[in-house]
Structure 1
């Protein structure tokens, strides 16, 4: 595939790369940084610096605690946290023991957590103190966890934070008899020096819940090698330099945010400014103060910064690389030109195409040959083909079909779902369920989804998942959801609801929306609800969402 795109391969990107520290797990990269340059900065959290030496010590101490709790190779441990140093520490402490990290979005609510506790053999969870009550409620309905650790974000904040920290994430520290305190563990546990030897390309280091093309979320099993390869691919294709300063505000629980804000930092050894969430003014302040040079953003973030009064007078000239993902706001020539003017020269271009099953970033955009509207060209050791939807045969350049991907980032399969695995993963190729085309130069253009997945603000929403949660409402007999266009989020959820006969009086669509808001992640709950007497369905009972969308 590289031969097809050779004319557009950037001059400053080698055709192949050599791993910076060799072919080994990322937690071994962290160990090397910590041992060889312990005083260098790894992360900056609202002004609080954490060095590589401190980070390694914290990882070893938490690993000691986890080892005592029985965590070993293959153990599944969930992370239910906002972006914070504790997230990074926990991620690599689990992997140091050969365990499997299971990231859970901190926006998940009680019923969603209960579902994941049943789907995966999660042995323990490390949760933010502010959302621990949801864990406690979910446990009443589902699997019993063998241990729970709660983390308070203020434990890693400086006495005088550089920027305002989200107040709703700060909760008074309490002594909870049913959980262990993250910071107390770091203060009292002895460092665990042994590192579990893992099979890089077969042992599972990460399990990301995704629905693939259909159904409720399934656990996509990704190896330690998948993470290493994609981290290296992203760093080398985007020519990450030795003196880069990174900034991360995309969610670490999301595969793209994890790759850019966690794995790429540890792979490259570059310092990273970390925020729990995006804030336009704080981002500008951080770029100025720390001379940030490398940022992965979502296009609406760039747009928001451009709206700041007096932004032209701010100094964003340190930025040299800004990869962005088009969600709601598209990365266009116009937006890029405005960004380039404000930053005094930093181009803005599409980050990549990818999905959870491939550890994302299957393409990259050549900096010197940007094609707006495309996702760039296949990255190192990656093949992308376009197959005819009906015949399954490869189509010619310019023709649309299903995108299929093959590279060393491809997952091992879905946990306990052999049929779903066989449908998606065939002879090493991931059949994405996405529609796209390749032009004559090898650039990939994403056109839409074969199935009915909804994309809202960058999050994947699966109809069956939202419907299952809606149907927990005592007044709802049936529901079906579709995506409807939204000028900011790209798409939002609209629900069609069939009420129980005894609940047809007095209940309003707004009441259903309010209930859903309390019981679903913020990106997932329906923004529109329409009551309907009967859902269109086949003779076998399968709901025809297509007809609802057409109406």
Structure 2
């Protein structure tokens, strides 16, 4: 059992019976007139968001969508993504979030894999969808949303895109008469959420309604120092735990946040309901611009910001960032990938009143597994990603997947809890490999110390073997990022005829170091690492690049780096 725990918070939550529909109903009742979403001139209160979603749900029913159908959301970040998302769930259908920037062939594969019968799209990406649904065996309806400030139209206004299936305008759906949400069982599918595909072909994860609502409540209660409750009509609300609150916890119905993580990704999508549970006013961002992002923080007095390490690096690189007034920010949450301790220290400088909270999660666990406490009086061990959430267990196991690793030793991270999902849609063999006796085999490597702090060292598939020794990229990447010239770094293995694999680092440099001669810089970095590790762990080659390849969610694409490392 975890021995370290935030003061005042219970170790287990009493989860009300219900779904996300009950949670948004609770927010619409408790925070009715509070602004929920801001997207340029478009604004919705919580009551309006709930009512629009009910209208969309009825509009979908009128179009023949039935409970259990899969409906894809092929949208950039926009206020209408959130309305469409809740509308689908309220209709009893499953949400299929798809990356709107992917080409037609990849999009078609995901539509086919999920069996989507309808798709919400946007004028800026409609052309790719039109090609993807041509000849689709399942898609029979497309709904086009309006443009907004966060999601403007295409740079060059094309002719109206024609679809080979029935089409309806989003505004038409919202003309439907609002009706109660369709009741669904907790074992019904809420999301068919595709994994990131950074290490292989994306697979759709079956996120059940009970997984979704419990993980939303786990994260929301952790971030707001609260517990869930249900009123006499079954509406789900949060109640503060005064003894647990610190200045960093997100106050209910009294905070503003920024939404920049892609909403089609698990962190962005599930966070919509985390924000709603706490009554947060959210400004929706489309294309990330670090200067505009900092402007919004100052203008709105933002309490909490959430993003990937790539976003944090971008903010730190903005000229004059240390002269800005960012004192309103009380929590900086980083997810998608581990954040380097050196970056945490820099973030603490530019956000002087904030606690930097790392987090760990994965699509197969809905979203969140572990989060750093929002209490500056609880300093975490360097490099730790946090404490395991309410009602969640983590075991560190040997490669055989059965034997527990010694306390503090590295091994594979296994997770058990109410947020662990139902497996991969249409892939029973993969499900059997990763979901074993109620436990999820994450594929991540980490350690768990005696006080319950979880630390990650990389992916099992990323580990390389040099002369018979296991070499983990994570610690090497952290060392490289501590070098004053390094902006970002990633280490992969390159096959070697004598040694098995050698560690190769891909490094991007900070602006002030960009003029250095690459060969000299590479030698300096290899020597820097060599001074800090055992001989077998040394980086054997450094490749200086302008920037590292990133997924839409800010994760480094190691598959692409391995391809470059081998010249294939």
Q: What TM-score do you get using the length of structure 2 for normalisation?
A: 0.74
1:227 maps to what in 2? 212
Structure 1 unaligned regions, length at least 5: 158-163, 459-482, 490-515, 532-547
Q: Provide the C-alpha distance between the structure 1 equivalents of 2:159 and 2:67, rounded to a whole number of angstroms.
A: 32
Aligned in 2, Cα 1:58/1:523: closer, same or farther, shift over 3 Å?
farther
Structure 2 residue 382 is the aligned partner of structure 1 residue 375: no
2:355 maps to what in 1? 347
Structure 2 residue 507 is the aligned partner of structure 1 residue 487: yes
Residue correspondence of structure 1 range 285-304 to structure 2 within 5 A: 285-304=295-314
Q: Retained in 2: the 8 A contact 1:205–1:223?
A: yes
Q: Retained in 2: the 8 A contact 1:213–1:433?
A: no
Structure 2 unaligned regions, length at least 5: 225-249, 464-472, 478-486, 489-502, 510-548
Structure 2 residue 317 is the aligned partner of structure 1 residue 317: no
1:471 maps to what in 2? none
2:446 maps to what in 1? 436
Residue correspondence of structure 1 range 122-521 to structure 2 within 5 A: 122-140=116-134, 142-154=136-148, 157=149, 168=154, 171=157, 174=160, 180-186=167-173, 189-200=175-186, 202-210=187-195, 216-239=201-224, 240-242=250-252, 243-260=254-271, 262-325=272-335, 327=337, 330-332=339-341, 334-350=342-358, 352-366=359-373, 367=375, 368-390=378-400, 392-451=402-461, 485-487=505-507
Aligned in 2, Cα 1:488/1:81: closer, same or farther, shift over 3 Å?
farther
Partner SS state of residue 201, structure 2: coil
CA displacement 1:242-284 (0-9 Å, x = unmatched): 1221211011111112222x12112222211110132211111
1:535 maps to what in 2? none
Aligned in 2, Cα 1:304/1:167: closer, same or farther, shift over 3 Å?
farther
Report which stretch shifted further, 37-46 or 83-92.
37-46
Q: Retained in 2: the 8 A contact 1:114–1:141?
A: no
1:41 maps to what in 2? 35
Q: Provide the C-alpha distance between the structure 2 equivalents of 1:315 and 1:76, rounded to a whole number of angstroms.
A: 45
Shift of 1:192: 3.2
Equivalent residue pairs, number? 463
Q: Provide the C-alpha distance between the structure 2 equivalents of 1:363 and 1:426, rounded to a whole number of angstroms.
A: 20
CA displacement 1:67-108 (0-9 Å, x = unmatched): 012212211000011111111011111100111000001121
CA displacement 1:22-43 (0-9 Å, x = unmatched): 4321222223333454322001
Aligned in 2, Cα 1:433/1:88: closer, same or farther, shift over 3 Å?
same
Q: Provide the C-alpha distance between the structure 1 equivalents of 2:456 and 2:299, rounded to a whole number of angstroms.
A: 37
Q: Provide the C-alpha distance between the structure 2 equivalents of 1:152 and 1:173, rounded to a whole number of angstroms.
A: 16
Structure 2 residue 85 is the aligned partner of structure 1 residue 91: yes
Q: Provide the C-alpha distance between the structure 2 equivalents of 1:227 and 1:418, rounded to a whole number of angstroms.
A: 21
Q: Retained in 1: the 8 A contact 2:369–2:389?
A: yes
Residue correspondence of structure 1 range 18-33 to structure 2 within 5 A: 18=14, 22-33=16-27
Q: Retained in 2: the 8 A contact 1:64–1:190?
A: yes
Aligned in 2, Cα 1:451/1:213: closer, same or farther, shift over 3 Å?
farther
1:56 maps to what in 2? 50
Report which stretch shifted further, 420-429 or 170-179.
170-179
Partner SS state of residue 487, structure 1: strand
RMSD: 3.5
Q: Indicate which of 61, 78, 81 corresponds to 2:75.
A: 81
Partner SS state of residue 340, structure 1: helix
Q: Provide the C-alpha distance between the structure 2 equivalents of 1:411 and 1:220, rounded to a whole number of angstroms.
A: 7
Aligned in 2, Cα 1:56/1:191: closer, same or farther, shift over 3 Å?
farther
Structure 2 residue 114 is the aligned partner of structure 1 residue 105: no
Q: Retained in 1: the 8 A contact 2:77–2:284?
A: yes
Q: Retained in 2: the 8 A contact 1:117–1:143?
A: no
Aligned in 2, Cα 1:92/1:173: closer, same or farther, shift over 3 Å?
farther
Shift of 1:172: 6.7
Structure 2 residue 10 is the aligned partner of structure 1 residue 5: no
Shift of 1:318: 0.8
Aligned in 2, Cα 1:28/1:170: closer, same or farther, shift over 3 Å?
farther
Q: Provide the C-alpha distance between the structure 1 equivalents of 2:448 and 2:351, rounded to a whole number of angstroms.
A: 32
Q: What TM-score do you get using the length of structure 1 for normalisation?
A: 0.76
Shift of 1:371: 2.2
Q: Provide the C-alpha distance between the structure 2 equivalents of 1:412 and 1:389, rounded to a whole number of angstroms.
A: 23
Q: Retained in 1: the 8 A contact 2:130–2:162?
A: no
Shift of 1:136: 1.4
Q: Provide the C-alpha distance between the structure 2 equivalents of 1:214 and 1:527, rounded to a whole number of angstroms.
A: 9
Q: Provide the C-alpha distance between the structure 2 equivalents of 1:346 and 1:65, rounded to a whole number of angstroms.
A: 43
1:478 maps to what in 2? none
